[in-house]
Amino acid sequence: MSVRAELKYKIMKDYGAPAIMALQDIKKRKKRPVPEAFGPPLESNKRLKEILSRHYFLSRYVSGVKKVAWVTSGAPVELLRAFDFYTIYPENHSALVGAKKQGGDYCGIAEGSGFSQDICSYARIDLGHMLSGKTPAGKLPKPDLLFCSNNICQTVLYWYKAIAHELNIPLIHFDAPFVTTEQTEADVNYMAQQLQDMIPILERVSGRVFYLEIFEEILKRSMETSKTWGAILDAMKAQPAPMTIFDAFGHLAPIVSLRGLPVAQDYYHILMDEVDNRVTQGIGAISDEKYRLIWDNIAIWYKVRFLATFFAERKMNFVTATYTNAWAETTGHLNVKDPWKSMAKTYGQIILNNNLKHRLGLMTKMIKTYAVDGMVMHSTRSCKPYSVGQFDLRKAITADLDLPAVILDADIADERVWSEQQIHTRLEAFCETLEGS
């Protein structure tokens, strides 16, 4: 680690980043007017933007100071934090590219180099970034290590394997056996052992020694952060709900990619306070909430604004989603006294690694506790674990709960497969059913 690089990083962290953020803030004074259908926007948005921009901004100066790891959204990142890795989340970055409606361009780069257009668009965008160096975030540091877990999909394993090969860097894979009925003791032991097996590799790559106390501290912080995130989502049970799920898609970023760090912990306290306040004062995310909806699957990043407006104008608000809930659902298992096994339980049982009976039960519970009137399912060609089974989930839910539901065929980040006309017709028909029921 060079002293110069470290000094530069410190200066940028303490002075450079705040200055740039302030500058950006001045530039962005001219805000877009909020459409009438929406309530007042969340104050926390500003802080969220700051945190995320700062994270990407600082990553440019991290080379020679900290080791960089690319991590999947469901990986047990707490272990990496104990070695002070600077973590980049390719899924988060791909979502950012998607939200900027540039997904097609990045996918095109990957496709041109020989990757099929039938593979996940998060992966194609990331591979497009890797092959071209392009990113809307300015510049991303090259990874020293890749860390993935197939608890969200097997795809990340194939994807990270391709990066590891291209960049010739180590890949650590955390194998999380799919839960077909319930986790067995063998599953838990296997995962716990894998985590412990990783320590010597992480020590070697990071050049740091593992201290259990530091790790426990991080674990505690992570638990507390997830709990706050869960409480924020819980607050959306209020009528009117203080935020929409489209807000939550954005506010999800720290729990996914900064989990275990103080900045994420602090941020959710700020958001929690604001949300609580809005509930007390009866401020809703949309001005007139008449219908409450549930969202299933990952966001359609390039259409978030369009969908938010479309539904808000019809007095419909998304108050819960299986997606946002994924980072709160299983953290109850975490236990500092038994870190390895408790992490195995937490990370092994998340929604996408669990059977569809569990998912149906969870969705049913969410629909009831959040007083939901209708369901929108995004069937995404990119994500098989989230999408295979949706047709039958829909059938079961509409039959058991007498709930109108619609399935939108789209993609998470490749805007080229969006079929405006078709989606519009489906959405209009869904709204008519909902209003008529």
Partner 1 sequence: MHNLYFAGVDVGSLSTDVCIIDQSGKVFSEMVMPTGVNGSEAAERAFDASLKQADLTRTDISAITATGYGRASVAFATGKTTEISCHGVGAHQLFPKTGTVIDIGGQDSKVIQVDTHGRMLDFAMNDKCAAGTGRFLEVMANRLELDLDELSNPLNIKGESAPISSTCTVFAESEVISLLAKNTPREEIVHGLQRSIVNRIWGMVTSIGIQGEVTLTGGVAHNRGLVALLEAKLGLSLNIPDNPQTVGALGGAHIACRAYHSTLESSTT
Partner 2 sequence: MNLSIPERSEYLKILSDSDQKIMGVLPALYPRELLWAFDLHAAEIWDPPGDILHANAHLQTTICPVVKKSLEFILKEPDVINTGYLFPHTCDSLQNLGTQVKDLIGVSLPVYTFYNPKGSFNNTTTKYYREILQNFQSMLEVSYGTLDSEKLQAACLLGHRIDSRLMDIQEARQTDRLLLGNQEYFQLMRAQEYLLPKDYMSLLEQVEILDQPSEGAKARILVSGILPPSPQILDFLDKLGVSIVADDLLAGSRRLPKFPMDPPDSPLDYLTDRFFILPPCSTRGGDLDERLHQLNKRSKSSKAQGVLFDLVKFCEPELFDHRLLVKTLREQKIPVLTLETELDSHLSGQDKTRIEAFIELLFEMVPR
Contact residues toward partner 1 (CB under 8 A) are 108, 111-114, 117, 416-417, 419-422
Binding pattern for the stretch 253-282 against partner 2, x by CB under 8 A and - elsewhere:
------------------------------
Residue 120 contacts partner 2 per CB under 8 A: yes
Residue 2 binds what, of partner 2, partner 1, none (CB under 5 to 8 Å, by partner type)? none
Query: Considering the complex, what minimum distance in angstroms separates the CB of residue 61 from partner 1?
Result: 33
Determine if the peptide bond prior to 240 is cis (ω within 30°).
yes
Binding pattern for the stretch 329-368 against partner 2, x by CB under 8 A and - elsewhere:
--------------------------xxx--x--------
Task: Name the DSSP letter for residue 61.
Answer: G
Residue 224 binds what, of partner 2, partner 1, none (CB under 5 to 8 Å, by partner type)? none
Which of the ranges 12-20, 218-226, 245-253, 379-387 carries the binding residues for partner 2, by CB under 8 A?
A: 379-387
Retrieve residue 123's tokens.
């992966």
Residue 421 binds what, of partner 2, partner 1, none (CB under 5 to 8 Å, by partner type)? partner 1
Query: Considering the complex, what minimum distance in angstroms separates the CB of residue 140 from partner 2?
Result: 21
Please say which residue, 276 or 409, places its beta carbon nearer to partner 1: 409
* Contact criterion met (CB below 8 Å) for 67 and 145: yes
Residue 301 contacts partner 2 per CB under 8 A: no
Which of the ranges 187-195, 235-243, 324-332, 366-374 carries the binding residues for partner 2, by CB under 8 A?
A: 187-195
CB < 8 Å & 24+ apart, contacts of 205-211: 205/67, 205/83, 205/144, 205/145, 205/170, 206/67, 206/83, 206/84, 206/85, 207/1, 207/67, 208/83, 208/84, 210/82, 210/83, 211/82
* Contact criterion met (CB below 8 Å) for 360 and 395: no
Please say which residue, 4 or 165, places its beta carbon nearer to partner 2: 165
Binding pattern for the stretch 397-426 against partner 2, x by CB under 8 A and - elsewhere:
------------x-----------------
User: Quick one: CA torsion of 375, 92, 348, 155, rounded to 10 degrees?
Assistant: 90
Angstrom distance (rounded) from CA 209 to CA 82: 9
Give, in degrees to the nearest 5, the angle at Cα 361 between 347 and 424: 95
Distance from chain centroid for Cα 314: 27
Residues in contact with 409: Cβ distance below 8 Å, sequence separation at least 6, in sequence order: 379, 381, 419, 422, 423
Please say which residue, 124 or 359, places its beta carbon nearer to partner 1: 124
- Which of 180, 277, 280, 422 is close enough to bind partner 2 by CB under 8 A? 180
Tally Cβ neighbours within 10 Å of residue 257.
Answer: 22
Residue 183 contacts partner 2 per CB under 8 A: no
Angstrom distance (rounded) from CA 21 to CA 27: 10
* Contact criterion met (CB below 8 Å) for 338 and 260: no
Q: Give Cα separations from 98 to 28, 106, 147 (angstroms).
A: 21, 9, 23
Query: Considering the complex, what minimum distance in angstroms separates the CB of residue 86 from partner 1?
Result: 32
Residue 8 binds what, of partner 1, partner 2, none (CB under 5 to 8 Å, by partner type)? none
Chain residues in the site for partner 2 (CB under 8 A): 113-116, 118-120, 123, 150, 153-155, 157-159, 161-162, 165, 173, 175, 177-178, 180, 184, 186, 189-190, 193-194, 197, 355-357, 360, 379, 381, 384-385, 387-393, 395-396, 409
